[in-house]
Amino acid sequence: MTDLDSAFAALADPTRRAILARLASGEATVMELAQPFDMSQPAISRHLKVLEGAGLIVRRAEGTRRHCSLAPTALEELEQWLAMLRRVLEANYGRLDRLLATMSLENDPSKTENKE
């Protein structure tokens, strides 16, 4: 679950999301990634370290450059967690629907508490 922690935390920063979006259209070096931002190179290096730690990107050394690219399965885990939540959510809505259909009562929302 700590993997999810770091992945979501990594996505909470707009600079890092921009870097990911950039990487989605192809690999890039640290310099290339840093160029659009009004921010020092060490700052970008740290963002990349965070993204790497979260398993969202991978790096490949080539001479003095580091080529960064999106980790192939980067989004899997996140999407799975969101999908899980949505699944439970929809299951619950379905249950609520059935409950309401069965009871066929007036729809006072304050009375439709649906506690397990």
State the Cα–Cα distance between residues 87 and 81, nearest whole angstrom. Answer: 10
State the Cα–Cα distance between residues 1 and 12, nearest whole angstrom. Answer: 17
State the number of binding residues for a copy of itself (CB under 8 A): 43
CA distances from 94 to 43, 80, 81, 101, 105 (A): 47, 21, 20, 11, 17
Q: Which residues contact 71 (CB under 8 A, 6 or more apart)?
A: 55, 56, 57, 58
> Using the rule CB under 8 A, is 27 a contact of a copy of itself?
yes
In angstroms, the first-to-last Cα distance of the chain is 26
> Using the rule CB under 7 A, is 4 a contact of DNA?
no
Binding residues for a copy of itself restricted to 39-58, rule: CB under 8 A: none
Binding partner of residue 114 among a copy of itself, DNA, none, CB cut-off 5 to 8 Å per kind: a copy of itself
Question: H/E element holding 29?
Answer: strand 28-29
> Using the rule CB under 7 A, is 40 a contact of DNA?
yes
Could you tell me the smallest distance in angstroms from the CB atom of residue 86 to DNA?
A: 23
| Per-residue x/- track, 7-36, DNA (CB under 7 A) | --x--xx-x-------------xxxx----
Q: What residues line the site for a copy of itself (CB under 8 A)?
A: 1-2, 4-6, 8-9, 11-14, 17, 20-21, 24-28, 60, 62, 67, 69-70, 72, 75, 78-79, 81-82, 84-86, 88-89, 91-92, 96, 110, 113-116
